[in-house]
């Protein structure tokens, strides 16, 4: 399979090529979903943000002249749409308000049979106990395929140079939670 070329794909999709569009959706969906979920949105609201992001790309193909900007554009758009949703809804907890994360770790809305092993279940539970800023960062950089550190930096609003150290610190916290759970 030919390697994904963002510039070629945008140009073709803008002209109506469904296959090129589907390649773009396939390449960036995990990252866009991760950004949406990183705002502590439940799956219905994350779906709203996810859908909005793709609608915006169809509206604004012409704004992306350089294919290397596509990932950053999509992640930043997902961030804007998440913030817009929070403003529109006005009944959601604001980011960083300290309220319990409704999304990760508590198994709500999640088919636990999908978790293949006790190890995965334990990891998911431990993840849900991380501070929110770690959950946000790890969700975004461990999307599959992941955004680049530059793209992650834009959406997480931290310097690119901070991502590596923060990642290490958050993984260490996750490891500590896992170890203490095993007891």
- Sites for other proteins among residues 57-96 (CB under 8 A): 57-59, 61, 84, 86-88, 90-91, 94
One symbol per residue from 26 to 45: x for binding other proteins (CB under 8 A), - otherwise; what is it?
Answer: ---xx--xx--x-----x--
180 part of the interface to other proteins, by CB under 8 A: no
Question: Which residues neighbour 4 within 8 Å (Cβ) at sequence distance 6 or greater?
Answer: 23, 27
Q: What minimum distance in Å lies between the beta carbon of 104 and other proteins?
A: 8
Q: CA–CA distance from 14 to each of 4, 5, 7, 119 (Å)?
A: 16, 14, 11, 44
Which phi-psi region, left, alpha or beta, contains residue 90 (left: φ > 0; alpha: ψ -120 to 50)? left
Burial class of residue 172 (count of CB atoms within 10 Å of its CB; 0-12, 13-18, 19+)? exposed
In the numeric block, the tokens 């955004």 are attached to 147
Q: What minimum distance in Å lies between the beta carbon of 159 and other proteins?
A: 20
* Site residues, other proteins (CB under 8 A): 13-14, 16, 18, 21-22, 25, 29-30, 33-34, 37, 43, 47-48, 50-52, 54-59, 61, 84, 86-88, 90-91, 94, 103-104, 110, 114-116, 119-120, 123-124, 127, 138-139, 142-144, 146, 167-168, 171, 174-175, 178
């Amino acid at each position: 399979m030919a390697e994904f070329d963002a510039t070629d794909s945008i140009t073709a999709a803008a002209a109506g090529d469904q296959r090129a569009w589907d390649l773009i959706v396939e390449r960036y969906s995990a990252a866009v979903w991760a950004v949406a979920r990183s705002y502590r949105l439940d799956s219905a609201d994350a779906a709203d943000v996810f859908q909005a992001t793709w609608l915006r790309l169809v509206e604004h193909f012409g704004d992306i002249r350089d294919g290397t900007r596509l990932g950053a554009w999509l992640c930043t758009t997902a961030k804007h749409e998440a913030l817009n949703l929070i403003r529109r809804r006005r009944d959601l907890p604001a980011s960083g308000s300290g309220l319990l994360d409704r999304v990760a770790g508590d198994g709500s809305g999640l088919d636990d049979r999908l978790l293949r092993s006790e190890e995965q279940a334990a990891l998911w539970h431990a993840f849900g106990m991380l501070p929110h800023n770690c959950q946000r960062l790890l969700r975004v950089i461990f999307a599959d395929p992941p955004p680049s550190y530059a793209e992650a930096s834009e959406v997480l609003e931290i310097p690119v140079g901070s991502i590596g150290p923060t990642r290490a610190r958050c993984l260490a916290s996750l490891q500590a939670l896992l170890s203490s759970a095993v007891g």
